[in-house]
Amino acid sequence: MAIWIYFRLNNKIMAQKLNTEFNYRYQVIGDTPWERIKTLKGFLEGRIRALALEEVSKLKHQAKLSKLNYLKNGGEGLEHEILELKAEILELDSHQGSLEEAFELTHDEIKILKKLIKELYAVAEPTRIKGYTDEEMFEANAANEFTVNMGREIQSEMIANGRPSAARIRNAMSNPHTWNALKQIGLIPKQTKILEGNIDPQLKIELKGVEDETV
């Protein structure tokens, strides 16, 4: 994963964070606290890995300096090898300021992620099922997350277009909990039934509306 993002301003290369606090707080995937925790923990892992490359960068730079010193002092280095290595070191040094800034930004980003995750745990922890790990809670919350997501997608389509799309309704039909939650809130007519065919393909081909209220 990239350590930083560069952008050009008046032909100058500058470092940026991967994401701002605003993006992490409001724009990442997740309509429920547990899903947002899952998403932010993934970002946090990536930022920590990126930060580990700070030491890698230092070691590579030291290695080139050591190699140059060896070639110049008894290592029988050819002139073109020494010049090429000097050029590589100069190129690395030219980016050093931006590189150091990028690592500082990564440190800041990790602090932001840890703060936001802590806030989300304060909300989500009281709902943890006894004995469940985070991963088990992510799975337990999956239908809830899907339902909230479908509800908001349908709501936004109705606000924008006056009706939900056929594809969105079809997707909502895939989960009975979601389907019934949408009917209860009034986004789907309560009398609507999902069509179902015969389980046995040898029987007469027909469709019937099923009672889909979940127990």
The pLDDT assigned to 30 comes to 96
AA letter at 73: N
Mean pLDDT score, 12-37: 85
Confidence of residue 35 (pLDDT cuts 50, 70, 90): very high
pTM of structure: 0.75
C-alpha distances in Å from residue 168, one per residue of 72, 150, 159, 164: 68, 7, 14, 7
Number of residues assigned to the chain: 215
Beta carbons of 81 and 53 less than 8 angstroms apart: no
The pLDDT of residue 205 is above 50: yes
Give the pLDDT mean for 195-205. 89
User: For 33-51, what is the mean pLDDT?
Assistant: 94
Residue 189: helix, strand or coil by DSSP? coil
Q: Domain segments of the chain: what residues?
A: 5-132, 142-210
User: For residue range 78-122, what is the model confidence (pLDDT) as tens digits?
Assistant: 777 777 877 877 777 666 666 677 788 899 999 999 999 999 999
Mean pLDDT in residue range 164-178: 95
CA 52 to CA 70: how far, in whole Å?
Answer: 28
